[in-house]
Structure 1
Amino acid sequence: MATSKLKTIHFWAPTFKWDLSIANIADFQKPPENILYLHTVITPKNWNLFSVNVAMAATGVYQLSRKIK
């Protein structure tokens, strides 16, 4: 019996990681002095995970540049 790819962790884990990027975008209005210097290193395993990591990096770099200014 074949299982749906939608029921595997390989689909859901990167999909839910998009919440982190959305949270970063929501924090764009946050005062820079309230931004923390937390870093995460992630090794992509598939294209969905890769794309969410790129989005996280972009939003994180933007936040870091705001903090530095």
Structure 2
Amino acid sequence: MAASRVYNGIVNTADRFVPTALRPLWNHAAGPKTVFFWAPVFKWGLVFAGLNDLRRPADQLSVSQSASLAATGLIWSRYSLVIIPKNYGLFSVNLFVAITQLAQLYRAWDFSRKNPPKDVQSKEQ
């Protein structure tokens, strides 16, 4: 409860400084006063991690991890548009999670296609 009081104190203090033009965003049901804003903000870390993994060699990618993140990104993208209120921040971050992980899956698939296992190569010769 102490963290909640600190957070509410920060929000109430900041409330005085929010310009009138930004009030609709500030007071929105999925605005910065709620977890519905902050959870997607922190989820961008998954997008940055996925983008960072583009530098990783394709043979070191986890197909199951990328598939799971891509699936959840697609599912939550859809969910964020059917809930009330629509949460476009949640939609955008999950769409980008899905896109980055689909790119990783493509890289892993392309690598496995171009570099078949040794036992498959020896049977073909």
Where structure 1 has 5 or more consecutive residues not aligned to the other structure, the ranges are none
- Residue 29 of structure 1 corresponds to which residue in structure 2? 55
More helix by share: 2
Identity of aligned residues (%): 36
Partner in structure 1 of residue 108 of structure 2: 67
Aligned length: 67
The alignment yields a C-alpha RMSD, in angstroms, of: 1.7
Q: What runs of 5+ residues in structure 2 fail to find an aligned partner?
A: 1-11, 13-25, 111-125
Letter in 2 for 1:53: N
Q: Quote the offset at 1:7 in angstroms.
A: 3.4
- For residues 1-69 of structure 1, the aligned pairs below 5 Å read 5-36=31-62, 37-38=64-65, 39-40=68-69, 41=72, 42=76, 43-44=79-80, 45=83, 46-69=87-110
Bigger shift: residues 15-24 or 33-42: 33-42
Amino acid across the alignment from 2:54: F
The structure whose Rg is larger is: 2
Aligned counterparts of 1:6 and 1:54: Cα–Cα separation in 2: 20
Q: Which has the higher contact order (CA 8 A, sep 6+)?
A: 1
